[in-house]
A and B are shown apart, each in its own frame.
Chain A
Amino acid sequence: MAGKRIFIAGFGGQGVLLIGQMLSYAAMFEDKEVSWMPSYGPEMRGGTANCTVNISDQPIASPLVTKCDVLIAMNGPSLDKFEGMLEPGGDLFINSSIISQKATRDDVNVHYVDCQHLAEVEVGNGKTQNMVMLGAIINATKVVNIDTMQKVFEKVFTGKKAALIPKNMEALNVWKPSMDA
């Protein structure tokens, strides 16, 4: 299938489901086929959360995946549990603010993203950590166009919340590919 299977995992409250939804909106605005599927179950605050996003030029056959092309680990347990799902040559994003261990795979592109530092120091708003990660995903993989996100934010942040758009756009652009070095 010409497309990307994206798996995002972390603690509840880190914006794992939101990152997936933002990607899905962007893909839809770009007229791509997309599905978003959350894990659901007896979840609790602070428990684990993950979601799968499929983006493709073809209709999405199965919204679930056993292998993925892009893996985002927002916390350590997610890296341990899901690292093996990633296809060789895939992109692995590690939230290095709270994950001290390194990737064990050497056949994938690893991106360490210090979400907390970038959000608090560069953007000046600690709440934008998930948008920092989202920006890293988009800028590194080009799965959607970063400019589409302006449209997505305008759709999601309406009324009073519209004031949040510039900060969020800023957060999307603080991670640079040069930080991989």
Chain B
Amino acid sequence: MAEKKLMKGNEAFATSAIHAGCRYYFGYPITPQNEVPEFMSRELAKAGGYFIQAESELGAINMAYGAAAAGGRVLLSTSSPGIALMQENLSLLSSVELPIVLVSVMRGGPGIGSIQPGQADYNQATKGGGNGDYHTIVFAPASIQEAVDMIYKGFDVADEYRNPVMVCADGMIGQMMEPVVLPPEKAPLAEEEIGNVKPWALTGHKEKRERNAINSVWLQQELLEEYIEQYWPKYVKAENELQDWEAINVENCETLFVAYGSVSRVVKEAMADLEKEGHNVGLIRLKTLWPFPHKAFELIGDNCKNVICCELSMGQMMKDVEAEVKGKYPVHLINRVGGMLLDPVEVVERTKKILEVK
């Protein structure tokens, strides 16, 4: 078995990207993800890659556009307000089908907000703020190991779907240390291979093939409609194939929790306490935020009486859960916001209050 290493989340994210063959990183500092650019500035060149501190988040994602267009594997990382600044270009990257992996280490919002962990960017990640018909594929890790695995796999998913992939961690997962087993190191594509594996990449035609063009503007609307209809099936495929979740006692439980990311760990501890007091609880933990794991909700059994969403937002995920259960069960919210955190004791107390009132 590969060696376990004790790593800080942010450093593990960056290492995982390098192991996945990423050789381009563009970033701009923002707490709580600063260890990612710090690590990359030190380590990426040693792996033969390129680190550039951009002048802004907008600069960083535009540099990513260039590197991805040339066929490279690119990592970006930022935190909530930084994602806001990148939204225009997530639309742009999607419109020209360029793969990148973007780590969002979420903090308290809105606005510049706080620097403590948050989840109020659920809508930002899953609904997007860019214009037009596109989706960002969004993974939500609950541990450093899972984040490492999702980033590693994320590069393959991004390449397969030719689309931006976002990994939504939060300040807790970014800042904490846990033992982690790193995935094997993959070499990046050799320059002469890029044209074969990514025939759309701008590698220079050398008069041996038609020239490639990556272009986001369509002045003839008929052609744009045709183009959108041609790439849209990949989102249908993603919805079918990428949904991912963890289910605990979903079939039998009376009280079903729904959570993701670091909050799901708090919920698991609360569940253990509730079980000791005789409550029949279950959990759906979202591992993908887009596509939303609809299939998990088909597992809910006849015992279910209440669905409780635990999240660090005013109920952004809960809206998707409500849409999913279609009024079959009452849906409740246990939340903290602004960078404040839920703890297991609070989840237990608020759960009991919800179950009593009913």
Contacts and interface: CB of A to CB of B under 8 A. Distances in A.
Given A62-B265, A62-B269, A64-B266, A37 B176 contact: yes
A63 B171 CA distance: 12
A35 B268 contact: no
Given A21-B6, A40-B31, A41-B116, A64 B177 contact: no
Given A61-B265, A63-B172, A35 B177 contact: yes
B195 interface: no
A151 to B, nearest CB: 12
Contacts of B266: 61-62, 64
B175 interface: yes
Interface of A is mostly: loop
Contacts of B49: none
A115 to B, nearest CB: 24
A59 to B, nearest CB: 9
A82 interface: no
B272 A36 contact: no
A34 B268 contact: no
Contact of B178 (A35, A41, A42, A64): A35
Nearest to B175: A40
Given A40-B31, A41-B115, A62 B344 contact: yes
Interface residues of B, number: 23
Given A61-B265, A62-B266, A36 B171 contact: no
A7 interface: no
A86 to B, nearest CB: 15
Interface string A42-84: 1000000000000000001111111000000000000000000
B179 A34 contact: yes
Contacts of B344: 61-62, 66
A12 B31 CA distance: 19
Interface in A1-54: 1, 21, 24-25, 28, 34-38, 40-42
Given A35-B178, A62-B266, A40 B6 contact: no
B272 A61 contact: yes
A64 B171 CA distance: 12
B77 interface: no
Given A28-B4, A36-B177, A40-B171, A60 B32 contact: no
Given A41-B115, A41-B116, A60 B265 contact: yes
Given A61-B272, A61-B344, A66-B343, A28 B265 contact: no
Contacts of A24: 6, 177
Interface in B160-194: 171-172, 175-179
A25 B6 contact: yes
B345 A40 contact: no
B341 interface: yes
Interface of A: 1, 21, 24-25, 28, 34-38, 40-42, 60-66
Given A1-B269, A1-B272, A62-B343, 11 more contacts: A28-B4, A28-B6, A36-B177, A37-B177, A40-B115, A40-B171, A60-B265, A61-B272, A62-B265, A62-B269, A65-B343
